[in-house]
Amino acid sequence: MKKILLLLSLASGITAFSQVIFSEGFTTFSSLAGAGWTTTNQSSPLGASTWAQGGGTAFSGGGQAGGTTSFTLCNFNSTTGGTGTISNWLITPPITVKNGDVISFYSRKGGTNGSYADRLEFRLSDQGAASVAPSGAAGVGSYTNLAVSINPNLTNNTTVVDGYPLTWTQYSYTVSGLPADTSMRMAFRYFVTNGGPDGTNSNIVGVDTFAVTRTVLSTNEVSAQKSGLSVYPAITDRELNVSLKNNQQITGISIYDMSGKAVSSVKADVIDKSSSIVDVSGLSSGNYIIHILTKDSKYTSKFIKK
């Protein structure tokens, strides 16, 4: 078998589009409970504040997607007694996800300066409706997958440029490593040590435009199971082995990211009949779709580049 080197190109031939399978814009916070969202304040000592409807002078520009109150927020009064540890949670209903799904949201600090450091964690539990709730300021329950951490070191914006953003900023996480489609609950955790009314940290943070997006292939693409296509290993850092059964000859190979953008292709004149080794070492880590073209058909499969 010949080894195939990937060449950057604008290869075409695959149709993919993004489908939003879950979204929340926090237009009416009071409706979240009826949709399966929950909140729990595990701060110590326990304060009066929890996640709530957006608004107020700290967010004079309103939410990320418009509307003066169309977002959710949480603040330093999550703990009381002067100084404490804030651990205040906003948890989604169960959402079924698969590898390659992209989870995204926007967040920012309130106000115009970052003199009080804030931190937000976005965590996942793969237990779905049976997820174990966090208990205590240090507990995370079954939400052990830390997908995103904003300002993990609790730096403030008055001394460094990489503290919590003061403008709406998007964060995302691509689902990977699941053995099958999985029901998950996801959680925003406002988590600040030395916080509270008299603490050196904590002020107020907002969250908006939460979405789970899936890339869907066009219906004229043929799945690997039906084609006899073999692409392995499913998770690799250097090479993919590609082969087709029934004496089908490969005439083209292209690779796309999960947004449907072509990132690499293989010249047809270096493909060795029905099987080849594809070098993917130059790709960034993430989820990809490989597109195999023969004289009569198009086949697709997915893989993860470590």
Ranges assigned E (strand) in 64-168: 72-75, 84-91, 95-97, 102-109, 120-125, 145-150
Quote the pLDDT of residue 5.
38
**pLDDT at site 303:** 85
Strand 84-91 versus strand 182-195 pairing type = antiparallel
Res. 26 pLDDT band, cuts 50 70 90: very high
Does residue 233 have a cis bond before it (omega within 30 degrees)? Answer: yes
Does the pLDDT at position 12 exceed 70? no
Q: Tell me the per-residue pLDDT of 50-59, one tens digit each, with 9 for 90 and over.
A: 999 999 999 9
Confidence check: pLDDT of 220 > 50: no
CB of 276 within 8 A of CB of 265? no
pLDDT for res 227: 56
Assess contact for 275 and 243: CB atoms under 8 A: yes
Q: What is the reported pLDDT for 3?
A: 33
Query: Please, are residues 197 and 84 in contact by the beta-carbon 8 Å criterion?
Result: no
Query: Which two tokens mark 242?
Result: 């590609």
Percent of all residues in the chain with a pLDDT value above 70, rounded to a whole number: 83
Residue 269's pLDDT is what? 47
CATH 2.60.120.200 residue ranges of the chain are 16-217
Q: Which pLDDT band, with edges at 50, 70 and 90, does 282 fall under?
A: confident
How far is the C-alpha of 242 from the C-alpha of 253, rounded, in Å? 10
Position 145 scores a pLDDT of: 98
Q: Give me the chain's average pLDDT, please.
A: 85
Q: Give the dihedral of Cα atoms 258, 177, 105, 108; nearest 10 deg.
A: -120
Give the side-chain half-sphere CA count within 13 A for 84: 25
Amino acid residing at 63: G
Residue 134's nearest CA partner among 147, 149, 144 is 144
For the domain made up of 16-217, give the CATH fold.
Jelly Rolls (2.60.120)
What's the pTM? 0.70
When pLDDT is cut at 50, 70 and 90, the band that residue 122 belongs to is very high
Give the pLDDT confidence score for residue 302 in this predicted structure: 83
Intervals of CATH 2.60.40.3080 along the chain: 220-305
* pLDDT score at 81: 85
Q: Does a cis peptide bond (omega within 30 degrees of 0) precede residue 179? A: no
pLDDT tens for each residue of 65-80:
878 999 999 999 999 9
CATH number for the region 220-305 comes to 2.60.40.3080
